[in-house]
Amino acid sequence: MILDERLKETEIKRNIVFDGKIFKIAQCKAELCDGTLVDREFMIHSGGVCILPVDDDGNVYLVQQYRYGAGRVLLEIPAGKLEKGEIPYDCAVRELSEETGFSADKITPLGVMFSSPAIMSEIIYLYLARNLTEGKKHLDNGEFLELVKIPFDEALEMVANGEITDAKTQLALLKAKCLGGI
């Protein structure tokens, strides 16, 4: 399918109104495809990665972690923010090691996703990790999480019944299944 580029909006002006450690907020003026001028507000984010570790027995390793924006503990695959200039693959390897202690002989890209494209620029790169080797996790300061081992099919059921609500985790599990990675 070819997307219709005539629908594109053209940014006329951008003003950064917040510049934080993790993201910026911009207020913009944009021109619609019919020439109308509109105001836009959005979050500028460096992007991130997530990686789905699957062992030789078909178990996935997820992390339980409190997420402030959700106001609760979520079950999700290891993930993290891209550092300035960092290659997504390298970030995936780093996050896998930090959050699980695992290294992987085989890391396969599963594509990308926009987490909330109406209001932010964040792109998340998804990966599948196979042929795992155990090691010691080394969390960032202030990062608290618990590693959970779940059979792959059970994790898919948890997506279907609403127990796994994190979008990147849902997508990575479904893409791994659809693309034959499991």
Cβ atoms within 10 Å, residue 9: 13
CA distance 166 to 126: 13
pLDDT in tens, 3-30: 999 999 999 999 999 999 999 999 999 9
What is the reported pTM?
0.94
Res. 141 pLDDT band, cuts 50 70 90: confident
Tokens for 115, please give them.
């987490």
User: Residues of the chain with pLDDT > 90: what percent?
Assistant: 93
pLDDT digits (tens, 9 = 90+) for 91-137: 999 999 999 999 999 999 999 999 999 999 999 999 999 999 999 88
Strand partners, 151: 59
Domains in the chain with CATH codes: 5-45 (2.30.30), 48-178 (3.90.79.10)
pLDDT confidence bin for 143, thresholds 50/70/90: confident
Query: 90: pLDDT confidence band, cut at 50, 70 and 90?
Result: very high
DSSP of the chain = ----GGG--EEEEEEEEEE-SSEEEEEEEEE-TTS-EEEEEEEEE--EEEEEEB-TTSEEEEEEEEETTTTEEEEE--EEEPPTT--HHHHHHHHHHHHH--EEEEEEEEEEEESSTTTB--EEEEEEEEEEE-----PPTT--EEEEEEEHHHHHHHHHTTS---HHHHHHHHHHHHTT--
